[in-house]
């Protein structure tokens, strides 16, 4: 079976997000003063062939650990979409 898997990768809360800070400043200059704590991340979708949903999720977690996320500075979530 083919399962659609969504992966979200973000910087750990303790890591400074220079892109997020730059975007936050730009939004303030555009008049959006109520915006705070902007964080930038990656959104990845995968079609994973597996016997069941749990195995598809486990495979995606391994992919994140091996390549898709830098676990020193990033964290990730994996979700199988029905």
Q: Please write the tens of the pLDDT for every residue from 26-49.
A: 999 999 999 999 999 999 999 999
Q: In what order do the strands lie in the sheet with 41-49?
A: 41-49, 2-11, 74-81
**Confidence check: pLDDT of 82 > 90:** no
pLDDT score for 79: 98
- pTM for the structure as a whole: 0.87
**Confidence check: pLDDT of 15 > 90:** yes
Asked if CATH classification 3.40.920.10 holds for the domain at 2-81, the reply, yes or no, is: no
């Amino acid at each position: 079976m083919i399962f659609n898997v969504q992966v979200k990768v973000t910087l750990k809360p303790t890591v400074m997000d220079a892109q997020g800070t730059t975007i936050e400043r730009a939004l303030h200059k555009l008049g959006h003063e109520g915006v705070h704590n902007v964080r930038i991340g990656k959104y990845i979708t995968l079609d994973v062939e597996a016997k069941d949903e749990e195995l598809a999720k486990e495979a995606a977690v391994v992919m994140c650990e091996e390549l898709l996320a830098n676990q020193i500075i990033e964290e990730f979530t994996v979700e199988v979409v029905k």
